[in-house]
């Protein structure tokens, strides 16, 4: 139960978020995003994902009730984005609630054990030998929980809905097929299976792909999809603003989709093309626009695979990616060079080495010249006690854009 004191406090927070949302600067940011995602400007976008270091910049939560803390955390995230980071994210004039859905690959619940570590973990292996254990891979299961979705929305609406309206959102459809496969078996098992049981790998991938498409189609026909062409997140670290996707009807073909395959960095581009890309493309073809990649070095599979996604709009250029190669491939093309800089300068180094950080960013600005460029800083798990470091990093990137971007 949310107390009267919590309610009054949350309403004041909501008013503060609304003030930021209504500023002229925020309206300009929104216009910039639409122009950027619609490929009508080459002016770069800069964002820093703060949830990984939220504990270092967030004010202590004052609400005691779980429901109050949930609302407080969401509002504080938007306020921190303005006050403590000041990147190009757009402060929303609403509070979002994602439709509660779930998808369980092969009908097997992924079980991770971190052995007391905050970051590292290992999955329980259902499959130790693909041939011997293939029978364990069953039909995937999925579903929607509209009751819990509505209950969450009703609580928010009751407390602050007259200040910040509740908006129902649909998490961007995403397909991480090899991640789901590895969750059922250890990495070594999957990699050996490519050589030992190639037919079974194809069978497992076909099962998973078909199940996921069936799940997506059921969401579509059941009216559970909501077009994501506005101010809502699209993995990894970007947002959906675009006029190139219609606002209705709520079809997969009108939505951003996302996919990556970080688990296959140890195989050749030819093996990825043979064993995995056909299944990714089957799913990608469902969506209106696609954002591809996370930390994998996508240049290894660009020419023979990823470049063949007809609806590709953004491609991740991670810290392990060949920037110059991808700059040459994306220059002048209707796609966005979605750069994920190394998080080490901000998140690992005890002292923020601004000179090395600026050199790192300048390399990107040179490699991506002539491309549509977006910086998404992610996987920063600490600011090393320097609360102002994220905001300083954004300011440095923006200054370098003014100096080097033409």
At 125-148, the pLDDT tens digits run 999 999 999 999 999 999 999 999
In a domain, 243, yes or no: yes
Per-residue b or e along 330-362, where b marks 16 or more CB atoms closer than 10 Å to that residue's CB: beeeebbbbbbbbbebbbeeeebeeeebbebbe
Spatial CA neighbour of 361 closest among 316, 336, 398: 398
- Strand ordering across the sheet containing 256-259: 45-48, 372-377, 336-339, 312-317, 289-292, 256-259, 174-175
Q: Indicate whether 295 pLDDT > 90.
A: yes
Q: What is the pLDDT of residue 114?
A: 82
The neighbouring-strand residues paired with 113 are 122
Distance in angstroms (rounded) separating the CA atoms of residues 304 and 315: 15
Mean pLDDT of the chain: 96
Half-sphere exposure (Cβ direction) of 134: Cα atoms closer than 13 Å: 15
Per-residue b or e along 122-150, where b marks 16 or more CB atoms closer than 10 Å to that residue's CB: eeeebbeebeeeeeebeebebebeeeebe
In a domain, 363, yes or no: no
pTM of this structure: 0.95
Q: What is the pLDDT of residue 177?
A: 97
Helix axes 146-160, 4-21, angle to 10 degrees: 90
Beta-carbon contacts of residue 116 (< 8 Å; ≥ 6 apart)? none
The neighbouring-strand residues paired with 169 are 98
In a domain, 189, yes or no: yes
The 3-state DSSP class for residue 41 equals: coil
Q: What is the pLDDT of residue 172?
A: 84
| Token pair in block for residue 264 | 């296959």
312-361 residue pLDDT tens: 999 999 999 999 999 999 999 999 999 999 999 999 999 999 999 999 99
Distance in angstroms (rounded) separating the CA atoms of residues 180 and 203: 14
Spatial CA neighbour of 81 closest among 149, 7, 25: 25
In a domain, 382, yes or no: no
Do 125 and 185 form a contact (C-beta atoms < 8 A)? yes
Cα dist. 112→116, 122, 309, 398 in Å? 11, 5, 32, 39
43-87 residue pLDDT tens: 999 999 999 999 899 888 999 999 999 999 999 999 999 999 999
Q: What is the pLDDT of residue 223?
A: 94
Q: Indicate whether 380 pLDDT > 80.
A: yes
Q: What is the pLDDT of residue 319?
A: 95
In a domain, 151, yes or no: no
Q: What is the pLDDT of residue 306?
A: 98
Do 213 and 9 form a contact (C-beta atoms < 8 A)? no
Q: How confident is the model at residue 120 (pLDDT cuts 50, 70, 90)?
A: confident
182-201 residue pLDDT tens: 999 999 999 999 999 999 99
Beta-carbon contacts of residue 209 (< 8 Å; ≥ 6 apart)? 177, 279, 282, 283
Torsion, Cα of 290, 294, 296, 300 (10° steps): 20
Do 228 and 251 form a contact (C-beta atoms < 8 A)? no
Beta-carbon contacts of residue 380 (< 8 Å; ≥ 6 apart)? 48, 49, 52, 53, 343, 346, 347, 390
203-259 residue pLDDT tens: 999 999 999 999 999 999 999 999 999 999 999 899 999 999 999 999 999 999 999
Do 365 and 390 form a contact (C-beta atoms < 8 A)? no
Q: What is the pLDDT of residue 38?
A: 98
In a domain, 283, yes or no: yes
Q: What is the pLDDT of residue 389?
A: 97
Tell the residue number behind the tokens 């954004």, with chain if given. 394
Q: Which residue range(s) make up the domain with 183?
A: 110-144+173-289+301-308
In a domain, 378, yes or no: no
In a domain, 235, yes or no: yes
The 3-state DSSP class for residue 168 equals: strand
The total number of structural domains in the chain stands at: 1
């Amino acid at each position: 139960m949310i107390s009267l004191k919590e309610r009054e406090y949350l309403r004041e927070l909501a008013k503060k978020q609304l003030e930021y949302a209504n500023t002229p600067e925020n309206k300009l940011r929104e216009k910039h995003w639409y122009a950027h995602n619609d490929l009508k400007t080459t002016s770069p976008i800069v964002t820093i994902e703060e949830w990984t270091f939220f504990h270092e910049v967030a004010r202590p939560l004052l609400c005691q009730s779980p429901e109050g803390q949930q609302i407080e955390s969401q509002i504080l995230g938007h306020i921190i984005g303005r006050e403590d980071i000041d990147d190009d994210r757009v402060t929303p004039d609403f509070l979002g609630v994602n439709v509660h859905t779930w998808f369980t690959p092969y009908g097997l619940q992924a079980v991770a054990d971190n052995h007391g570590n905050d970051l590292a973990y290992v999955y329980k292996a259902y499959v130790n030998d693909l041939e011997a254990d293939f029978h364990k891979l069953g039909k995937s299961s999925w579903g929607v929980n509209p009751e819990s979705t509505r209950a969450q929305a009703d609580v928010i609406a009751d407390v602050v809905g007259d200040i910040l309206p509740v908006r129902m959102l649909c998490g961007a459809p995403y397909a991480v097929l090899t991640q789901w496969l590895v969750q059922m078996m250890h990495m070594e098992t999957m990699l050996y299976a490519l050589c030992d049981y190639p037919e079974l790998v194809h069978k497992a991938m076909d099962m998973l792909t078909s199940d996921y498409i069936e799940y997506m189609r059921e969401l579509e026909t059941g009216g559970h999809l909501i077009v994501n062409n506005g101010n809502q997140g699209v993995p990894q670290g970007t947002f959906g603003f675009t006029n190139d996707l219609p606002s209705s009807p709520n079809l997969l073909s009108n939505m951003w989709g996302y996919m990556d395959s970080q688990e296959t960095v140890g195989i050749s581009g030819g093996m990825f093309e043979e064993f995995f890309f056909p299944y990714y493309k089957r799913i990608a073809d469902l969506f209106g626009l696609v954002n591809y990649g996370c930390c994998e070095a996508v240049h290894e599979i660009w020419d023979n695979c990823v470049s063949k996604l007809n609806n590709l709009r953004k491609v991740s250029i991670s810290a392990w990616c060949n920037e110059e190669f991808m700059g040459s491939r994306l220059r002048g093309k209707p796609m966005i060079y979605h750069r994920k800089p190394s998080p080490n300068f901000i998140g690992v180094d005890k002292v923020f080495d601004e000179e090395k950080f600026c050199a790192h960013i300048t390399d990107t600005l040179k490699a991506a010249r002539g491309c549509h460029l977006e910086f998404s800083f992610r996987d920063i798990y600490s600011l090393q006690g320097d609360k102002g470091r994220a905001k300083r990093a954004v300011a440095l990137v923006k200054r370098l854009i003014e100096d080097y971007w033409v």
